[in-house]
Structure 1
C-alpha cells in the first residue's frame, strides 16, 4: 500500500457547474451520464461502432448531418425532430451501425464531455461498463476526477452512485485517496444502493422523467452493471476504444 503522499487522488464533482473548482487538479476525467448518454455510448461501442463524435449543440449536430453522418440528438429525454435517433442505448445496437462513425448531442452528457476535454484525458463511465473501467483506472497511476453530468447542471443520484462505486473501488486498492466531502458522500450513496440500484433510484427525478416518456426498458438497461464492457476515450474530437487489453 502506498503512503498518503504517493497515493493518487480520486474525487467526485457533482455537476458540470462545479467543474471549474476541480479542473486544474486531475489528469483523467471520467464523464458519467448514466441516464442515458454514457450508457448509450458504451452500448454503441459494444455493438461495434468505430467512433462517436459528441457535440454540445443541435446546430453542430445539423452540420454533421449535412455531411452525411448518422446523428443522434436528444433534448429533455426526447429525440429531436429530424434526427436518426436519440440517446436510447437500444438505438445503438442495430447491425447497420457496426463499423460506422456516428454523432451524438444530448441535454447533459455530451456537453460534459466537451467541458472536460480541455482539462485532461476524458474517459466514458457508466454502470454498464463499471467493472472493466474500474480495473483500467486502477492501472493508470494518475489523479482521477469523476464528473457527474447531473441534470441541467444540478446534482442527480444515478451519476453520483456510479461515481461512488468507482471511488470505493479505487480507494480500496490502497493506491488512491479521497479528501473531498463530495467523494465521501458519493461512496456512501453507492454503498447504500449497491444491492438494488434499480430499486434505490425508484423515486429519482430523472428516472421519473424517463418513466413518464415510457422509457422503462432504457432505465433497466442503464441501471444494470456490466452490460457493455468497453472503455471509450476521447481522442481529439472523437470517442474511440482504448487500445490496451484489460483483464478482469
Structure 2
C-alpha cells in the first residue's frame, strides 16, 4: 500500500488520483459535520461548491432537504444550520437529506472525483477509517481540505493520526511519501492534538468565533464508528 497526502484543496491534481482511494479530511469542520450527521440518522449528504446550487436543490422539496454550511466560518444567510457538528442532532436530521456547501471541505470532495473511491475522514472516526483502508489494501491519498486554499495544521495532524493507525494495523507494510511520513511524524510527536493546533490560524479563527465546544468535539479521537463514502454525488453509509 502506497500512502500520500495532499496538503490543501488547492493542491489537488485529479490525474494523480486514478486507481487510488482518497480520504477527504476537513476536521474543522466539514467532514466532522458529515460523519456526525450521518451517525445521527441523516439519510444522505449532497456536497456542492456554490451557495446558489445548494438553495436550488433544497427548493425542490423543503420537507426533505436541510441546508447546512458556512463561508468564513459563519452560517450562510437563509440556511438551516451553520457548520457546527453539534447542530446536527438526531431529532432534526434523522431521515432528512442534507445539502452542504463550505469554504474548503465540499470543494475538496468535488475536486477529488477522479479517485476510485472517496471516503470521509475526521478525528472522530479516524481509527475506523484506518480499519476500512487496511481491509481494502489499496493505494490511498489523504486530501487535506486546508484553509482558504492553504496548508492547515489541523487537517495535517489528522492525516498523521489515521496513517499511524493504518500502519499499526498493517504491521508497517506501507510505503509513505515524504509528506505522508512528515504527517505521521507530526502526530507521533504531538499526540495531544489540541496542544499542537492551538496556535494554528484556523484554530484561532474558531476560538474568535466562540466555537470552543466544536473544537473540543472535532479534535477528539474515535467517537464514531462509521466511514461515509462519496459516490454519484452523494455521501452515505454504504
- Matches of 1:100 and 1:21 in 2, distance apart? 31
- 1:65 deviates by 2.4
Asked if the contact 1:80–1:86 (Cα under 8 Å) also holds between the matched residues in 2, the reply is: yes
Asked if the contact 1:47–1:93 (Cα under 8 Å) also holds between the matched residues in 2, the reply is: yes
Out of 47, 60, 80, which is 1:54 matched to? Answer: 47
- Matches of 2:222 and 2:174 in 1, distance apart? 25
- Matches of 2:78 and 2:104 in 1, distance apart? 20
| Unaligned residue ranges in structure 2 (runs of 5+) | none
Report matched runs for 1:62-211 at 5 Å.
Answer: 62-67=55-60, 68=62, 69-172=65-168, 173-174=170-171, 176-194=173-191, 196-211=192-207
Runs of 4+ in 1 over 6 A off after TM superposition: none
Aligned to 1:139, the other structure's residue is in SS state helix
TM-score by length of 2: 0.93
- 1:26 deviates by 4.6
Aligned to 1:122, the other structure's residue is in SS state strand
**CA-to-partner distance for each residue in 1:171-220, whole Å, 9 max, x for gaps?**
341464334221111011111221x1122211111110011001100010
Root mean square deviation, CA, Å: 1.5
- The alpha-carbon distance between structure 1 residues 96 and 20, as it changes in their structure 2 partners (threshold 3 A), is same
Asked if the contact 1:64–1:71 (Cα under 8 Å) also holds between the matched residues in 2, the reply is: no
- 1:139 deviates by 0.5
- Matches of 1:135 and 1:143 in 2, distance apart? 14
- Matches of 1:184 and 1:93 in 2, distance apart? 36
Aligned to 1:129, the other structure's residue is in SS state helix
- Matches of 1:175 and 1:139 in 2, distance apart? 14
TM-score by length of 1: 0.90
- 1:100 deviates by 1.3
- Matches of 2:235 and 2:160 in 1, distance apart? 24
Q: In terms of mean alpha carbon deviation, does 170-179 or 153-162 score higher? A: 170-179
- The alpha-carbon distance between structure 1 residues 17 and 26, as it changes in their structure 2 partners (threshold 3 A), is farther
Asked if the contact 2:15–2:114 (Cα under 8 Å) also holds between the matched residues in 1, the reply is: no
Tell me the number of residue pairs that the alignment of Structure 1 and Structure 2 aligns.
234
| Unaligned residue ranges in structure 1 (runs of 5+) | 1-7, 243-248
- The alpha-carbon distance between structure 1 residues 93 and 23, as it changes in their structure 2 partners (threshold 3 A), is farther
Asked if the contact 1:89–1:218 (Cα under 8 Å) also holds between the matched residues in 2, the reply is: yes
Aligned: 1:41 with 2:34: yes
Q: In terms of mean alpha carbon deviation, does 200-209 or 167-176 score higher? A: 167-176
